[in-house]
A and B are shown apart, each in its own frame.
Chain A
Amino acid sequence: MMTINTIENGIVIDHIRAGYGVKIFNYLGLDEVDYTVALIMNANSKKQGKKDIIKIENEINFDLSELGLIDPDVTINIIQNHIITKKLKLSLPEVVENVIKCKNPRCITSTERNLTHVFYLVDEKKGVYRCKYCDEKYALGNRV
């Protein structure tokens, strides 16, 4: 059994689907920070079987909704003086701008300059988004 110390002040991202920890780690740019961070992969989980966890010994700001696009099932724990002071569950954003790129070669986003790529949520359960301009589907790989 591996032991990782608790953190005093910071954030714990828990219940990350096994294998997605690296994606979130990279998305948050944690490979370049100078404070203490831990990426735990394939930890045992009663609910999920295996899960990833990220512990960050610092208070950082990041866009929760965009994190939800990588894995909407994660839990964010805010830690102050070794105690969880807040638990946040993510939900999928209704509208996502310039995060998902439309892959339809017939879509106007493939040629028009300076056009914001916009996807809107059509099925939260299945994690399905559609392009505002051409209705092209984007399904979150981890939800379907």
Chain B
Amino acid sequence: MIKNRHLIDPMDFSTEEIDKILSLSEQISKNPENYSKKCSGKILGSLFYEPSTRTRLSFEAAMMRLGGQVIGFSEANSSSVSKGESIADTIRTVACYADIVVMRHPKEGAPKVASMYSDVPVINAGDGGHQHPTQTLTDLLTIRTVKGSLNNLKIGYCGDLKFGRTVHSLIKALSRYPHNEMHLISPKELKIPDYIKEEIFDKRSINYFEHEKIEECINDLDILYMTRVQKERFFNEEDYIRLKDTYILDNEKMKKASDQLIVLHPLPRVNEIAYEIDKDPRAYYFKQAKTGMYVRMGLISMLLGGGVLK
């Protein structure tokens, strides 16, 4: 039963429950008009303490396309947070007005705190460099649609693996499907956190390989998941400037990849994917962005109890 649950971490739902959300989202994407009144009379509280384009707009568009309405803020300065209000008090107030809440926050664990005090479902739309489970649902549906399954895949994650919350969430989710192999491509300063290695790879006996160059493994990959080096996660700008251009995917590097490779990116990109790649049929990141809205429609619909698989 997914109704009235929180989604804070990708592991909050079983693989069966995730499959149900993905299947409903797929159905919605084929016939969105059939779901245009599913959330009629319902309100989404959209609490974005940090800038966002895709995630916030796709959540708000998703709710409106389901017939619901949206309240909230898109920056902390325009709310009582600027007066020093705690997350616990903010969520208890918003839960009086909204039927479901989505929260993005720069501090890791903030949506978890919100879920502890909320009477309505809370969705984590990204907490610092920690987790981003709805981006993961988007990634999973994109992969499942293109590759036909979520098993037996060789996935390369490239860029900022230390603060890349989309990477952390996707790794967690894909580690539950059999025979997936992980390739981690990053400079040593931005390596994957030890909790992912110890709690996910080691405990689940997942095969993983660490690389410093894309060329070391690109020929072997089914999926290349590119990420941006995020300026906002660095306390020291010098470190950011030194690391930001470590990886740039271009036509030259793509020549070594298989025809079956797909390139994903949670967006926004800065310069880690050259614009010339946009024309490559293996570039899936803009299709991935569109999938995000349907996934959020499926998720909201199920959390509010309106999601019925046909």
Contact = CB atoms under 8 A, between A and B. Distances in A.
Interface in A100-131: 104-115, 122-123, 128, 130-131
A54 B194 CA distance: 37
Size bin of chain B's contact surface = 20 to 34
Given A112-B88, A114-B86, A114-B88, A134 B109 contact: yes
Contact of B195 (A132, A133, A137): A137
> Chain B interface secondary structure, helix, strand, loop or mixed?
mixed
B244 to A, nearest CB: 19
Contact of A134 (B88, B130, B194, B199): B130
Given A110-B107, A122-B199, A133 B87 contact: no
Given A115-B113, A130-B195, A106 B86 contact: no
A135 interface: yes
B108 interface: yes
B195 A135 contact: yes
A104 B86 contact: no
A106 B108 contact: yes
B121 interface: no
A83 B193 CA distance: 51
A56 to B, nearest CB: 38
Interface in B231-245: 235
B159 interface: no
A112 B110 CA distance: 9
B198 interface: yes
Interface string B109-134: 11011000000000000011110000
A132 to B, nearest CB: 7
B117 to A, nearest CB: 10
Contacts of B127: 108
Given A107-B109, A134-B108, A113 B194 contact: no
Nearest to B108: A134
Given A106-B128, A114-B88, A133 B194 contact: no
B108 A108 contact: yes
Given A108-B112, A123-B198, A135 B88 contact: no
Given A108-B112, A112-B87, A137-B194, 15 more contacts: A106-B106, A106-B129, A107-B108, A108-B108, A108-B110, A108-B127, A109-B109, A112-B113, A115-B88, A122-B198, A122-B199, A130-B199, A133-B112, A135-B108, A135-B130
18 contacts: A104-B108, A106-B107, A106-B128, A107-B107, A108-B105, A108-B112, A108-B113, A112-B87, A112-B110, A115-B113, A122-B198, A130-B195, A132-B109, A133-B112, A134-B108, A134-B128, A135-B108, A135-B130
Interface of B: 86-88, 105-110, 112-113, 127-130, 193-195, 198-199, 235
